Amino acid sequence: GAGGALYVAGMLMMATAAEGVMLTVGNALSGIGMAAAGFGPILGAIGRQTPAASRSSALGVATAGGSFGQFAIVPFASILQNSFDNWHSTMFVLAAVSVMMVPLALGLREQRAAPSKTAPPVQSARDALQEAFCTQGFLLLTVGFFVCGFHVTFIGLHLPAYISDNSVGMSFFGRPISAMELGGWAIGLVGLFNIAGALLWGWLGGHH
């Protein structure tokens, strides 16, 4: 919930930004909020609350849900920008839509049993990080996610701008699609196909 609130606050700051400092701070707040309300804590909560037999499929469904968000929101944002021709107005609408994240986060509250006297002591965050950085699997997973995040973010940032800057438009069943909208749909299609991939690999993970 707090991560979603930070994300919305950053979006509102960007929407009202009149100079570079406010825009930069807004981006930073949104980034922190996205990290706190993104896949990391969500998949962790789902993984802890799901039986081992169905955990892989549950994580696949959750990942597919995030991909559906990409499929729905990015084209929506491009349509808004094409209609308003004002990114401040677009950011205001997206901030209003993002407010829904805050109450929805209540559904991820975990029901944790009280620790028994015989249970091992709870590991601190510092000790957990030290153990993780000494584990080869964690380092390899981190590198893999860095490569994934870098190239997906690179495409998501530059592909729509490239299509728009080069005025690449098209028509779909007779309806003209502007270059701005086409850029959004290009990224939306990445999310659409990732839905199928996440569901497939989630199912395969549960069977193998």
Q: Give the mean pLDDT of 16-33.
A: 89
| 3-state SS, residue 177 | strand
Q: Can you tell me the distance from the alpha carbon of 41 to that of 107, in angstroms, rounded to the nearest whole number?
A: 13
DSSP string of the chain? Answer: -HHHHHHHHHHHHHHT--SHHHHHHHHHHHHHHHHHHSHHHHHHHHHHHS-HHHHHHHHHHHHHHHHHHHHHHHHHHHHHHHHH--HHHHHHHHHHHHTTHHHHGGGG----PPPPTTSPPPPPHHHHHHHHHT-HHHHHHHHHHHHHHHHHHHHHHHHHHHHHHTT--EEETTEEE-HHHHHHHHHHHHHHHHHHHHHHHHHHHHH-
Residue 170's pLDDT band (cuts 50, 70, 90) = confident
> What token pair was written down for 34?
């996205």
pLDDT tens across 79-128, in order? 888 888 888 898 999 999 888 888 877 766 666 666 666 666 778 888 88
Q: Give the mean pLDDT of 13-31.
A: 89
Q: What is the pLDDT of residue 119?
A: 64
- The answer on pLDDT for 48 being more than 80 is yes
Q: What is the pLDDT of residue 123?
A: 80
Q: Give the mean pLDDT of 144-161.
A: 84
